[in-house]
Amino acid sequence: MSEFKTIEFRDNSLILLNQTKLPLIEEYIKTDDYERIALSIERLEVRGAPAIGITAAYALALAFKFPNSNRKETFEKVYERLAATRPTAVNLFWALEKMKSVFYENIHGDDLYDKLLAKAFEIHNEDIQKCDLIGKNGLQIFTKKMNVLTHCNTGKLATGGDGTAFNVIRYGYANNKVIHVYADETRPLLQGSRLTAFELEQAGIPFSIVTDSTAAFLMRQNKVDVVIVGADRIALNGDAANKIGTYNLAVLCKYHKIPFYIAAPITTIDKYCKEGHEIKIELRNKNEIITIKDVQISKDSYDVYSPAFDVTPSELITGIITDTGVFNYPYDFSGIQN
- Please calculate the CA angle 151-152-155 and round it to the nearest 5 degrees: 105
DSSP label at 281?
P
Radius of gyration of the chain (CA): 20
Give dist(CA 268, CA 262) in Å, integer: 11
Selected catalytic residue, list 127, 232, 239, 323: 232
Three-class DSSP category at 82? helix
Give dist(CA 108, CA 10) in Å, integer: 26
Give dist(CA 97, CA 111) in Å, integer: 19
Give dist(CA 111, CA 108) in Å, integer: 9
Compute CA distances 68 → 10, 13, 109, 172, 324, whole Å. 22, 18, 12, 49, 40
Return the biggest CA–CA distance within the chain.
65
DSSP label at 162?
S
Question: Are 18 and 45 a contacting pair, CB within 8 Å?
Answer: yes
Give dist(CA 275, CA 163) in Å, integer: 25
Give dist(CA 264, CA 157) in Å, integer: 14
111 is known as an active-site residue: no
Three-class DSSP category at 70? coil
Give dist(CA 74, CA 68) in Å, integer: 8
Give dist(CA 224, CA 151) in Å, integer: 13
Which residues belong to the active site?
Answer: 232
